[in-house]
Amino acid sequence: MNILLSGVNLHPISGGTFATVCSFRETFVRAGHTVNVLNFTKYGAADDGRGFLDIATSRWPIANWYHCCATAYSERIRAMVEAANLVFIHGIYVHPLLVVSQHARDRGVPYVTVPHGSLDPHSLVTHRWRKRFWLALYHDMLVMQSAAVLYATPTEMERSWARGLERHAVVVPWGIETHGDYEKEAFAARIRTRHGLRSGQRIAFFCARMAAVKRPVETMTAFLREAPEGWVMICAGPASHDFPVEKVAALCEKSQGRCIYTGPVFGADVLEYYKAADLFLLLSHSENFSHSVATAQACAVPVVVSPGVGLACYVKDCGGGFVAPGESFEDICTALRAAFQADPAQLADQGRAGRRWAERELSQAVFSKRLGAVCHSFAAKTKSECA
C-alpha cells in the first residue's frame, strides 16, 4: 500500500505533532507499506536523514498565517497524491494541507484528517477570527468530506468543534516507546550532578513548549507554594512565539535554586530527565494527547495532570498519578499538595501502575494494530464514496 503523510513544520521543536508523524511513518514502514512524507515548513530543508520532502512555505505577511505554499499546486505534489492509496492530513489551519485534501478528493483518494487538538475550543481562543474564518470556508473539505477524522483520545473527540459533523470519527491513542526496569538512582545522580543539586534531592519534571496553554509559570508558582524542602522542579522545553520565556527564567532566578529551566532538550538527553524524575507535572489548559505524560508513564514516573490533558481520564482510571479537580490555580495547588504529601512507596506504586497501562495500551505493537485497522478500513473506500 502507498501511504502519504502530510504535515506542517515537522521538526522536533513542534513536539507532539512531529512525534506522531514520525510514529505513523515508522509503523507503516514496518508493516511493509510505501510511505512518503510531505513537510510544508517554515524551517527550510533539513538534511537529517528522516527522508521527508521539505517544502518551504511563504514568509509574506498574511500569507504566512496559513503557511501558504504555491508548490502545493505543482504536478509533483498532484502525482504523489494520485499515487497514494490513503492520505493523512496532519493539521487544520494550513493552506497546503487544504490543497493536498483537494487533490485527494479530486482524484478519489481517501484522506483522513488528524487535527492534533486544533478543533478543541481552547485552540479557537487564540487567533479565533482567523481560525473561525478558515473553518467557515473549509470545514466541508477538512471534516465532512474526509474519510474520517482521527482523534488521539476520547477527550479530544468529545471536545472537538466538529463533533457530529465527521463522516467517521475514530479514536486511536498514539504509540510511544516503552521502557523496562532501569536504575533510577543512577539517572537521578547524573541529573543532580549536571545541575549542582544536593544528594538525595527529589526531582519534579516539567517538559513542554514554553507556551501560555502549557501554564509553566502557574505550575512553577504552585510548586514553590506547595513543594516541601528537598524537592526541585526542572523545566525543559523550547520557547514559543506566543509566550515570553523570560518569565520562566525570571521565576527560576527568584526561586533560589528550587526551579531550574534547561531550555530545549530532545531525544536521549530528555529521556534522562524522565528517568531521573520522581514526579512529572503537566497542568495545561488543553492537550489532545500529551506525549510527555505518556513518556513519563512509560518510565514508571507518577504524573500530576489537569483535566484538560487528553490522557487525564486514563491516569485516573489506571491509578498512575493525580488529576487536578479543575483548571484553576487553586486546583493545580490541590493536586500538587496531594502528590507531595504522598509517601515514596505510594508514588512508586502509582508509577508502576502507569507503566503497566502504557505497556498495555500505548505500545508500538498495539498502536500498529489499531492504525493498521484504520488504514485498511478507509483505504478500501471507492472513488464514489470519497466524492
Same domain? For 83 and 225 the reply is: no
Which structural domain range is residue 263 located in? 184-361
Q: What is the pLDDT of residue 242?
A: 80
Give me the numbers of helices (H) and strands (E) for the chain, helices first please: 15, 13
pLDDT at 276 (0 to 100): 98
Model confidence over 272-287: pLDDT tens digits?
999 999 999 999 999 9
**How many domains, in total, are found in the chain?**
2
Rg of the chain over Cα atoms, rounded to whole angstroms, equals: 21
380 shares a domain with 329: no
- Could you give the CA distance from residue 298 to residue 292 in angstroms, rounded to a whole number? 10
Judge if 166 and 188 occupy the same domain.
no
| Same-domain status, 212 and 290 | yes
For CA atoms 42, 45, 49, 50, give the dihedral sign. Answer: positive
Same domain flag for 16 and 130: yes
* Residues forming beta bridges with residue 236, ordered by sequence position: 207
The enclosing domain of 327 has a CATH number of: 3.40.50.2000
Mean pLDDT value of segment 157-173: 95
383: confidence class by pLDDT, cuts 50, 70, 90: very low
Shared domain for 152 and 229, answered yes or no, is no
| Co-location of 83 and 22 in the same domain | yes
Same domain, 149 and 202: no
Shared domain for 105 and 201, answered yes or no, is: no
- Residue 129 in grid coordinates: 477570527
Residue 49: is its pLDDT beyond 90?
no
The whole model's pTM is what? 0.93
Q: What is the CB-side half-sphere exposure of residue 133 using CA atoms within 13 A? A: 9
Is 336's pLDDT higher than 50? yes
- pLDDT tens figures, 213-241: 999 999 999 999 999 999 999 999 999 88
Report the run of H or E that residue 5 belongs to, with start and end: strand 2-8
Question: Is 306:324 a contact under the CB 8 Å cutoff?
Answer: yes
Whether residues 96 and 194 share a domain: the answer is no
Please, what's the b/e burial string for 78-99 (b: 16 or more CB within 10 A of its CB; e: otherwise)?
bebbeebbbbbbbbbbbbbbbb
Q: Do 135 and 228 belong together in one domain? A: no
Q: Which of 4-8, 86-90, 111-115, 380-384 has the lowest mean pLDDT?
A: 380-384
Query: Quick one: 17 and 160 in the same domain?
Result: yes
